[in-house]
């Protein structure tokens, strides 16, 4: 029989109602060949080998065909031959089964399906692939040989912030099973029984029952539930604490947990000692893990979990030298937030003397909680083999459903890095999550993928397709020129698409969990689209010398800015990164630049004094520094801020920045960071209720200038009194007030 290789001839047609181009298996198989034929499914299959085969694989088969009728006399019935290596049912196919963990061989031909796993989980994955191949009651005749690169693939729930609900976790287990991920690490930072102060204490009965149910759900979906303990912050290196830890593991073992981890990340003090850590881990491995033959290898997260930190000391080398060779060691890459490179993996493996277990900090947003990271997975090396990495796990967002876009692609990547196509996998993930409105979700996700600028120094592509149009348009406005018709049309089309996509997403009823998670960001996204559309109309009105239309659109933009401000101030008010930010890399800067630029041009032409501040705030910003004119004043809880600026600020002698408050407020202090400057060349003043400016002394604390205020004020001002022009970085301006 003639076969076509799927990877080379995926778009070719074959007989029956299925085409090769319609066949999608995720993660992408290592080898998949398609013949010219199909198998029709008209009744429940005959199962051969069910006496020995994987129970979860058999349960999955039953679920696949539960809606099919029982076969009757004269009915054409197909057979499924199923089993694991060594089982009688699949003995004749032994040579076809890949000798790799989680590997399987699947063949569909002549009204027969063969599913032969290297182990029970491999058989289960073969059944999951079978389910993906069913289309309109038919199966293509195919032959698949498949196995993963990374032995452990999945998710570590290790982020800071709001933890997932038990319901969301259970749903995640099903998702992992469907897409061949086998690992979930339970390590929520807010669980006091996982970390300090209560890691020594057993779980209360109610919480223990919840965990037991979750473990059972994981097992039913072929997922290892890994329970992690985080004792390092207050551990006492004595026998008593060691015994507490073992007793805690015993409780979780009794709840059904068969995989354990010890985390020493993000701690200080005596708990960071690598020698003591290694001795404790070896003791656990020797006296707990090895005493229970059904346990998976022990996993640890080190205190030094990045390459840049590891190169400053011998911590990782100590772990490599001292730890039992079967203990796996986690690693986030060269930095905390970074793509995983060949160079970094080769280096860490040379230190730890075993294939590394990757904890990839994507799409986690605990360092930018006012954003969503919903863009494609890309940037990781695609040449890794099982000799390089033993595990590859995602640290996701606190938004469980939204995280599935990235998790889906990470499942694809960690199974078969060599053939991974990030853009295609991303689009397929979106279509999987929201089939009816996939294009609307894609629009939202394309514009909400970048974490912004910060200490992590890791940027993601965002709004890539429209970026050139936006740049040319904004530059034309800045120069006082008319933007091209092409650029105007492209930006208008994009903003119209944003508005319509937002409405469709908010009305979507096929994935209510996703809409609930991202709904506030979608509403902000719609306001952004409406604002962009009206800013474009301002430009058009200005170029047509239609002053009445310009003013109407200007007023509408100001109203939309105020709505956006209220949404930002009243939603997602976490203490670290409050608010709702969308489209920050291209869209919002474009709107700000064009609004400020065209308003300046209008003021100059018509002699008006319209406010050019591009973001709404109840407070007003005034400055004699040209670079800062139009900067917004942001309100974040009790903080009134001038946003940090990326470029060098040329602060002329005698020039100032000033905030005029909407109403008198009781101020506590001000915190100013201009980087490498001293208080004596600056004058800080506050505006008293009587209308007089009062000078207050500045001092330096932890590299920042600060002044105590402790009075009711109407404004604040900082002036360069050095007598010379200065070049500074505006890193922070934060006026703290009492609510």
* Residues that are catalytic: 266
Neighbours of 78 (CB within 10 A): 19
Strand partners, 685: 695, 717
- State both tokens at 457: 């120094």
Cis status of the peptide bond prior to 363, with omega within 30 of 0 = yes
| Contact residues for 51 (Cβ-Cβ < 8 A; gap 6+) | none
Strands (E) located in 654-725: 656-673, 682-687, 693-696, 699-701, 704-720
641 beta partners: 634, 734
**b/e per residue, 139-159, with b = 16+ CB within 10 A?**
bbbbbbbbbbbbbbbbbbbbb
Helix (H) or strand (E) holding 534: helix 512-543
Task: Give which of 22, 5, 32, 127 is closest to 416, Cα–Cα.
Answer: 32
Asked if the bond preceding 197 is cis, omega within 30° of 0, the reply is: yes
3-state DSSP call for residue 20?
A: helix
Q: Which helix (H) or strand (E) holds 80?
A: strand 79-84
The tokens for 340 are: 């995983």
Say if residue 27 is preceded by a cis peptide, omega within 30 of 0: yes
The CB density around residue 561, as the number of other CB atoms within 10 Å, is 21
List residues bridging with 720 in a β-sheet: 682
The per-residue DSSP string of 553-568 comes to HHHHHHHHHHHHHHHH
Asked if residue 150 lies in contact with residue 386, where contact means CB atoms within 8 angstroms, the answer is: yes
Q: Please give the backbone phi and psi of residue 556, each rounded to the nearest 5 degrees, phi first.
A: -65, -40
Burial class from Cβ neighbours inside 10 Å (0-12, 13-18, 19+) for residue 192 reads exposed
C-alpha–C-alpha distance, residues 647 and 624, integer Å: 17
């Amino acid at each position: 029989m003639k076969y076509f290789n799927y990877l080379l001839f995926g778009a070719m047609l074959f007989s029956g109602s299925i085409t090769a181009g319609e066949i999608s298996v995720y993660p992408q198989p290592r080898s998949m060949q398609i013949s010219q034929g199909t198998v029709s499914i008209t009744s429940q299959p005959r199962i051969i080998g069910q006496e020995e085969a994987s129970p979860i694989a058999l349960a999955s088969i039953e679920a696949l065909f539960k809606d099919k009728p029982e076969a009757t006399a004269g009915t054409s019935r197909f057979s499924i031959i199923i089993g694991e290596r060594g089982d009688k049912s699949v003995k004749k196919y032994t040579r076809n089964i890949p000798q790799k963990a989680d590997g399987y061989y699947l063949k569909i031909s002549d009204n027969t399906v063969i599913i032969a796993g290297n182990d029970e989980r491999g058989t289960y994955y073969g059944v999951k692939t079978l389910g993906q191949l069913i289309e309109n009651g038919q199966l293509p005749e195919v032959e698949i040989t498949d196995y993963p690169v990374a032995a452990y693939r999945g998710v570590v729930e290790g982020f800071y912030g709001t933890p997932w609900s038990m319901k969301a976790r259970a749903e995640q287990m099903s998702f992992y099973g469907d897409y061949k991920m086998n690992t979930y690490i339970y390590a929520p930072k807010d669980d006091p029984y996982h970390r300090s102060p209560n890691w020594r204490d057993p779980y209360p009965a109610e919480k223990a029952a919840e965990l037991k149910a979750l473990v059972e759900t994981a097992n039913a979906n072929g997922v290892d539930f890994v329970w992690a303990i985080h004792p390092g912050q207050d551990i006492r290196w004595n026998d008593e604490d060691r015994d507490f830890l073992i007793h805690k593991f015993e409780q979780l073992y009794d709840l059904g947990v068969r995989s354990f981890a010890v985390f020493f990340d993000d701690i200080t003090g005596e708990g960071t000692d690598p020698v003591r850590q290694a001795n404790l881990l070896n003791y656990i491995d020797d006296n707990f893990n090895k005493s229970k033959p059904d346990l998976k290898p022990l996993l640890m997260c080190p205190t030094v979990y990045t390459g840049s930190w590891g190169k400053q000391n011998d911590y990782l080398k100590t772990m490599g030298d001292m730890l039992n060779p079967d203990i796996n060691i986690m690693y986030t890459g060269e930095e905390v937030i970074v793509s995983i490179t060949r160079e970094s993996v080769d280096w860490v493996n040379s230190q730890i003397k075993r294939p590394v277990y990757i904890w990839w900090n994507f799409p986690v947003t605990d360092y930018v909680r006012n954003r969503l990271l919903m863009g494609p997975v890309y940037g990781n090396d695609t040449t890794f083999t099982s000799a390089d990495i033993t595990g590859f796990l995602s640290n996701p967002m606190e938004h469980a459903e939204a995280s599935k876009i990235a998790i889906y692609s990470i499942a694809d990547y960690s199974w078969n890095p060599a053939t991974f196509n990030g853009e295609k996998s991303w689009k397929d993930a979106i279509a999987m999550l929201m089939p009816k409105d996939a294009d609307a979700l894609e629009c939202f996700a394309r514009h909400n993928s970048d974490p912004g600028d910060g200490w992590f120094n890791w940027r993601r592509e965002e709004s890539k397709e429209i970026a050139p149009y936006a740049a040319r348009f904004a530059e034309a406005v800045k120069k006082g020129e008319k933007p091209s018709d092409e650029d105007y049309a492209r930006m208008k089309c994009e903003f119209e698409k944003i508005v319509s996509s937002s409405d469709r997403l908010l009305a979507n009823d096929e994935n209510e969990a996703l809409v609930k998670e991202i709904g506030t960001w979608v509403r902000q996204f719609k306001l952004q689209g409406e604002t962009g559309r009206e800013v474009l109309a301002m430009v058009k009105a200005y170029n047509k010398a239609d002053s009445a239309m310009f003013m109407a659109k200007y007023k509408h933009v100001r109203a939309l800015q105020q709505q956006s401000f209220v949404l930002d101030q009243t939603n997602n008010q976490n203490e670290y990164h409050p608010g709702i930010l969308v489209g920050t890399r291209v869209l919002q800067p474009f709107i700000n630049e064009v609004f400020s630029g065209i308003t300046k041009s209008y003021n100059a032409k018509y002699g008006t004094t319209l406010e050019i501040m591009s973001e709404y705030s109840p407070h007003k910003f005034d400055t004699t520094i040209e670079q800062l004119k139009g900067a917004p004043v942001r309100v974040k809880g009790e903080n009134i801020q001038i946003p940090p600026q990326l470029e060098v600020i040329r602060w002329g002698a005698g020039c100032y920045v000033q905030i005029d408050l909407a109403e008198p407020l009781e101020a506590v202090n001000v915190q100013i960071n201009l980087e490498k400057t001293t208080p004596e060349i600056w004058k800080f003043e506050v505006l008293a209720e009587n209308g007089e400016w009062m000078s207050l002394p500045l001092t330096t604390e932890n590299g920042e200038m600060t002044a105590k205020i402790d009075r009711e004020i109407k404004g604040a001002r900082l002036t360069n009194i050095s007598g010379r022009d200065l070049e500074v970085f505006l890193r922070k301006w934060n006026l703290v007030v009492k609510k």
